[in-house]
Amino acid sequence: MRKIISIFLSLGLIGFGYSLENLGTFGKVYQIEEEDIIEYIKKNAKPPKFSREYIQRKIHAAAQVDVNLPVNKRDNVRYEKIIYTVPNDIIIEGKLIAKKGTKINVLKEIKLHNTYVILADYMLPYFLDWNKKTNAVYLITQGNILDLQKKYPDLRIYAGFPKVLSSLKVKSIPSIVYQYQDKLVILEKGFPNDKKSVDDTNK
């Protein structure tokens, strides 16, 4: 055991002040041939190239709308209010402006300047007169917005997102929504249940 300890001591590997000595080079030295990993990543991590046609297809697909609402079988009219409930006390300069839970009729404070026509794409040709009457905004629930904007460049056509339709109290299509005094008027227009039946009635 003492012999082993003396060998380690002689090599200077025990104690806080040990040092490692360069023992030189033994045997043949070979150059590292592998490519540097960082350079490899930089060289190969190039952004993919997409053709114009590919990008156009992606944009066209993103313009597709599909909100499933029932189709009206007969004419009907509803009157609705847009009520906002104050979530917390509104205090301005120390004065209580509105207490939590207060219900506010939004249409007493603001005015809707547009008439909204909510329908599917195949219904649109039958409601073009509303644009002449009121300069309407068309909200599409089913169809491709880009295709419709191209076909009807003079119309204001947008996607009928569920949140917007809910705010306008729309439950079915086709519907026409406008403001009268402090309430919404929702005209639910009767319409054939599918495109084929519409085409048949106009032959």
Rounded percentage of the chain residues whose pLDDT exceeds 90 = 42
Which tokens belong to 118?
A: 């909510």
Residue 106 has pLDDT above 90, yes or no: no
- Give me the amino acid identity at 84: Y
The DSSP-derived string for the chain is -HHHHHHHHHHT-SSTT---------S------SPPHHHHHHHH-PPPP--HHHHHHHHHHHTEEE---PBPSS-EEEEE--EEE-SS-EEETTEEEE-TT-EEEHHHH------EEEE-GGGGGGGTHHHHHH--EEEESEEEHHHHHHH-TTSEEEE--HHHHHHTT--SBSEEEEEETTEEEEEE----SSHHHHHHHT-
pLDDT at 56 (0 to 100): 80
pTM listed for this prediction: 0.66
pLDDT at 11 (0 to 100): 47
Residue 104: what are its φ and ψ, rounded to 5°? Answer: -120, 130
pLDDT at 123 (0 to 100): 95
Using CA atoms, how far apart are residues 77 and 91, in angstroms rounded to an integer? 39
Rounded percentage of the chain residues whose pLDDT exceeds 70 = 70
pLDDT one-digit tens code per residue, 13-59:
444 444 445 555 555 555 555 656 666 666 666 666 677 787 888 88
pLDDT at 7 (0 to 100): 46
pLDDT at 14 (0 to 100): 43
Most confident of the ranges 13-22, 80-89, 104-113, 147-156: 147-156
pLDDT one-digit tens code per residue, 5-15:
444 445 444 44
Torsion angle in degrees (nearest 10) through CA of 179, 151, 128, 200: -130
Most confident of the ranges 77-86, 101-110, 126-135, 169-178: 169-178
